[in-house]
Amino acid sequence: MQRHFLTGAELDQATLAALLARARELKASPLGSDSLTRRVIALIFDQPSTRTRVSFEVGIVELGGHPMVTRSDELQLSRGESVRDTAYVLSRHVAAICIRTGADEAVRELARHATVPVINMLTAGHHPCQALADLLTLQEEFGRLAGLTVAYVGDGNNVARSLAILGGLAGMEVRIASPARHRLLDPPEAAVLMEDPRAAASGADAVYTDVWLSMSDDPRSAQQRRSAFLPYRLDEHLLEVAAPHAIALHCLPAHPGEEITAEVLYGSRQRIWVQAENRRHVQKALLEQLVG
């Protein structure tokens, strides 16, 4: 059976541990592997991207491969060709298909019909590559994952869901504090849902946030969302109730003054820029595992 990476739930604990260990090796020696030499990896973008595109494209080149970057409007998908037919065609040319899009069902359908690995670079429901980078960042900081507590404050979205899936697999407690109207729907079993952001952050090893208005959200709801999320802003006051050694995390892009203050975003307690770099290293380890 072909292996895919769509939600993170495809991994077991041992495989996750091995993947993170390999990511640390690749970070220490970025050009130490040529596992994708003369292999082409398709990168399909249905949405704008900075970290995802840069980290995948650079990582594939570092592994000796060629990233074939396309936007969905450059493919016949934009003219009505089916996801199934697209999967059949791409599978005959590339070693893996990575896609950043909206609907989770489109990625599941791509995986059903592809004969090469499919990697979810981002959907409305899941962001598993980001969660891998989050775990690597926490592991580097604390030397372990099991027993850590991470407080995610803000929108119950794809980032929160993936963090709970993979964080739970790693033995972490993942608390997700959101306003009642913006709670995480269909939460993973490991997620601890809360409404009070200070209760979630109390004693936590890391406090994590994301934007208040995602690309998939209706822009007409912006003012309502800003009002609802204001108590969930990641600032020095919220960090004060976390553990003394706690770090701040954000998957980016950030909007200083909204979901996070500039003082935290650029301060000494954040590991946000390390977190962004770690996307490349975990994705290289993932590609080696699935393709190399």
Sequence length of the chain is: 292
Residues with catalytic annotation? 100, 127, 130, 210, 251, 279
